[in-house]
Amino acid sequence: MNKEVLVKEIAEKAGQSQKDAKSFLDAAIDVITDALKKGDKVTLVGFGTFQVKERAAREGRNPRTGKPLKIPAKKAPVFAAGKGLKDAVAAPPPKKGKK
């Protein structure tokens, strides 16, 4: 699913126009991004948690030459799924009735 399809689905579920749904989605993404930039954690109970984790510097290898190289430390955004999302994804799909 891409952003265009997601906006369409949100609009249908919320009974809003696609323009409004896109504005809401863009605003939500901006708010989450700004919070992560500040180092805050964003928790949506039942869905999951967005946060920034530090990755330590390490040594890697160039796959082409095999020579060692240094990989610098960096910050990376991570998402941890909440129990509600995990349970929803793990649930077996509904059985289709005979027609």
DSSP E strands in the chain: the ranges are 42-44, 48-55, 58-61, 68-71, 74-81
pTM more than 0.85? no
pLDDT the model gives residue 99: 56
Q: How far apart are CA 41 and CA 56, in angstroms?
A: 20
Average pLDDT over residues 48-53: 97
Task: Provide the 3-class DSSP secondary structure of residue 34.
Answer: helix
Instruction: Give the domain ranges of the chain.
Output: 3-90
Q: 3-90 architecture in CATH?
A: Irregular (4.10)
Residue 34 has φ and ψ, to the nearest 5°, of -65, -40
User: If you ran DSSP here, which 8-state letter would residue 64 be given?
Assistant: T
